[in-house]
Chains A and B, each alone.
Chain A
């Protein structure tokens, strides 16, 4: 009898004893039973221990997002005798130069990263070893909420894995991807197994979050009693694909659903992304999803559950209701969607005053050489319908145009001097240049001056509830009947540049109806990504105090401050509509542009600056993702804050952010 068989028998005997105990209350079992349970925990750990390996990494980043990446040992689990090891993707987010695996017997091997499962946040490694001990998985039908669950890691210098004991708290968590446990899950055991009391593997421990995706999502829940494991049976079923070196991506259809309480409303398709699997299969806005793979769908949240476990490349069966009809569709999911290139009509809408209930969109200006100018729209026209759909306001017009693609033709009905006429425009893309002249948008001071106006002029104070302070400039003529643009100045490391920025931007704020706000980093020497929440809170505070036009909230930064600026822009997609960066390239890969979250870029850089080439590449990267980008080179300039003409252009560009 081998050692493991004898162990299995010992556990078997123990379980008989447990069964005799009957309905036993955790924490209040008879003394001998309690001792036996404790022995069973230890035996379960010993049973799996030969397959639990230690992983160490060398080199790599020290920070990913807000999370300081550890350099300590992490854990992996042998999944096949010929040297494949599965672990949590969290253990490799620092992009290490070298990965080492130490087996339970102390042998050490360099490891290769074979592939990643980006839906379940797992990484497969390969080492040049053979004859390794593998584990047996618990069949899904045997999962029981309340059963013992023992979490193992191999992060300490000890011959036995470190363990934590809990129970299975829930099944089918995080859109069906994981089981939940109250054992303490942390970097001390991410990548290790969650085992049952017989030493069979329930799953592999990973940080996950319901709300966020991304590499570090869920880490904040470490040791909280909320931990997740990806079921071993699921891992084994995708293992053949991972072994070939194929990265597995979450499967996408290319639809967005109408917003609402996800637990209450039906799944009504709002948008179908161009060239996406959904469009190719003939799905249309307004379709209601009735079932996916035979699972009936009556509420929005069920769509996420049905798709949570699907990978790119898989085919699903979707039934939609279209009017009285039911339409069956086969859809092959993809990992990446084609980014959306925003369509453009070429009008500047007139901004409404408080209380203005005019229906339609009044044209403030027509942009030169735009579809609108070719279609002979004129300033003062009021757009009332597009392609037969009534236009209520700016948001409505923007929504209609954003559902079109570049090159499509729209019929625009306008009211001009009390008469209605219909003009035809062929939509283009947003041009990469800023017109030399945009009529200024000076706002007159309110007359008479209302009481209780919020502070104007130069302001410097602490933000309540945050251990940070900020400065701001609000035009003395601030008039709460108008919406103001907001420029959020993200200073570079080592210098807040407060006086210069104030002096340069003050006239532009007055000319273009802008408020300037300058958060100050905790340490002037540079921004820490953890300060993102403060900047978000500051913008919200400004929105509370002043009337801010949500379409013109801009991040502006210079030099290395822009690393933080770019981070903010992509982190708070629904907050910021523009990014104006001087003398700093984009150092992260941007997500694709989305029609419902408009974001535009203004880059400038001295053409003698060493970074100029990289800034040009940044424009190309942003354009690949279909963002509208303007790049203004400063002739003969090195690494400097841009001169007045460029700031003027920036001001005009901000004034254009609500163009349609």
Chain B
């Protein structure tokens, strides 16, 4: 079985006739339809290299705009530019910082705008689905110019932050990760759609993946933000409870509480090798041995002594601690009961 799919760039320059034209037409109409519902948002910023613009999309004919929650909105002088070039003042109607979401209200009466119906216009997609991204990245579109369109595929639909700290973002749910470079300055609040024009998600802020030190291109699925948007518009939205600050400082348990003594933590990433096991301790009863390398705690990879201590610190009293250790060339599971209370004084720094 042989296949040759040649992409003939040259042809793209020719007048479109024949079989290609029908689809080109349909994509063209998709793009026109989507662009008419997109807006450009101008607000605070412009200093210290912070951009003063972002993107938004209309979610009601009377002038509600969904956009990304960012410093751009931190001003009384918000201006929204519609697809036809009209400039209208706006105010922030409500926001959900944990979803990086804000809803704006245009300050104009009697509007009848083309808008998304979140209930009937949304869709879903998996890896490999071709998508379009719409945003005013880098403020390329000025005046009544339409926002920029990018194309790509969905790389995956997966949780953005599987572990605390891997991304510097408030949003931790499932996201569409795409292979086009959609997340640029000003692109936040843009949309991701299928090529048929189904609304998939809202493009998020620029985001660096702290685990791989690369920038990530993603959109928050509409299914995650639809309800908050509708509730904000209806005026009955209550922001979610934020987790208390300084949660990383929690240190409820220490390795010693389980009878584990780790090797001295001398490097930035000292592997979590067991130095000693206290006789009669939970660790001893679970069969742990010196030189075991702790690799997983309750399914999460442990890359260093530091991470192990953080993870133990966050355990809930009375639960079960599931460990996987590497012993020689084998992986060995172990289960330890989490005691009711830490035996080491809480003021003491964990070692």
Contacts and interface: CB of A to CB of B under 8 A. Distances in A.
Given A34-B23, A110-B329, A163-B156, A58 B293 contact: yes
Interface string B160-171: 001000100000
B46 interface: no
Contacts of B302: 58
B214 A58 contact: no
Interface in A391-428: none
Contacts of B8: 23-25, 146
Interface residues of B, number: 64
Contact of A197 (B3, B129, B177): B3
A60 interface: yes
B212 interface: yes
Interface in B293-312: 293, 295, 301-304
A18 B6 CA distance: 11
Contact of B5 (A69, A98, A148, A157): A148
A184 B19 CA distance: 29
A61 B270 CA distance: 9
B6 A163 contact: no
B130 to A, nearest CB: 5
Contacts of A223: 181, 214-215, 217
B162 to A, nearest CB: 5
- Central interface residue in B21, B152, B214, by most chain A CB within 10 Å: B214
Contact of B4 (A58, A71, A147, A222): A147
B16 interface: yes
A63 to B, nearest CB: 9
Interface in B237-273: 267-272
Q: Chain A CB within 10 Å — which of B5, B27, B303 has the most?
A: B5
Interface in A96-112: 97-98, 100, 108-110, 112
A57 B331 CA distance: 14
Contacts of B20: 24-25, 28-30
Contact of A42 (B16, B128, B214, B269): B128
Contacts of A28: 12, 16, 20-21, 23-24, 27
Contacts of B268: 61-62
Nearest to A44: B128
Contacts of A144: 4, 6
A26 interface: yes
Contacts of A309: none
B208 to A, nearest CB: 11
Contacts of A41: 128, 153
Contact of A31 (B5, B23, B158, B303): B23
B233 interface: no
B1 interface: yes
B279 to A, nearest CB: 27
B211 interface: yes
A368 B330 CA distance: 65
B333 to A, nearest CB: 10
A196 B1 CA distance: 13
A572 interface: no
B269 A112 contact: no
Interface in A1-51: 8, 12, 15, 18-19, 21, 23-31, 33-34, 38, 41-42, 45
Contact of A34 (B181, B195, B212): B195
Interface in A215-250: 222-223
B301 A97 contact: no
B234 interface: no
Interface in B279-326: 293, 295, 301-304, 324, 326
Contact of A110 (B153, B267, B326): B326
A128 interface: yes
Contacts of B5: 18, 24, 146-148, 197
Interface in A156-187: 156-158, 160-165, 167, 183-184, 186-187
A56 interface: yes
Contacts of A88: none
B51 interface: no
Contacts of A156: 156, 158-159, 162, 177
A59 interface: yes
B158 A198 contact: no
B137 to A, nearest CB: 15
A142 interface: yes
A395 B192 CA distance: 62
Contacts of B22: 30-31
B1 A15 contact: yes
B124 interface: no
A109 B331 contact: yes
Given A157-B158, A165-B153, A222 B19 contact: no
Contact of A72 (B155, B180, B212): B212
Nearest to A26: B7
B127 A163 contact: yes
Nearest to B12: A25
Given A23-B6, A58-B271, A158-B157, A188 B212 contact: yes
A61 B156 contact: no
A70 interface: yes
Interface in B188-232: 195, 209, 211-215, 217
A25 B22 CA distance: 12
A550 B141 CA distance: 50
Nearest to A154: B156
Nearest to A155: B212
Interface of A: 8, 12, 15, 18-19, 21, 23-31, 33-34, 38, 41-42, 45, 56-62, 67-73, 94, 97-98, 100, 108-110, 112, 128, 142, 144, 146-148, 155-158, 160-165, 167, 183-184, 186-188, 196-198, 222-223
Interface of B: 1-9, 11-12, 16, 19-24, 26-27, 126-130, 151-153, 155-159, 162, 166, 177, 179-181, 195, 209, 211-215, 217, 267-272, 293, 295, 301-304, 324, 326, 329-331
- The 3 tightest CB contacts between A and B, nearest first, are A72-B211, A59-B271, A164-B179
8 contacts: A33-B19, A59-B267, A59-B270, A71-B211, A98-B326, A146-B7, A164-B153, A188-B212
Given A24-B19, A162-B177, 8 more contacts: A24-B5, A110-B326, A146-B6, A156-B156, A157-B159, A163-B179, A198-B3, A223-B215
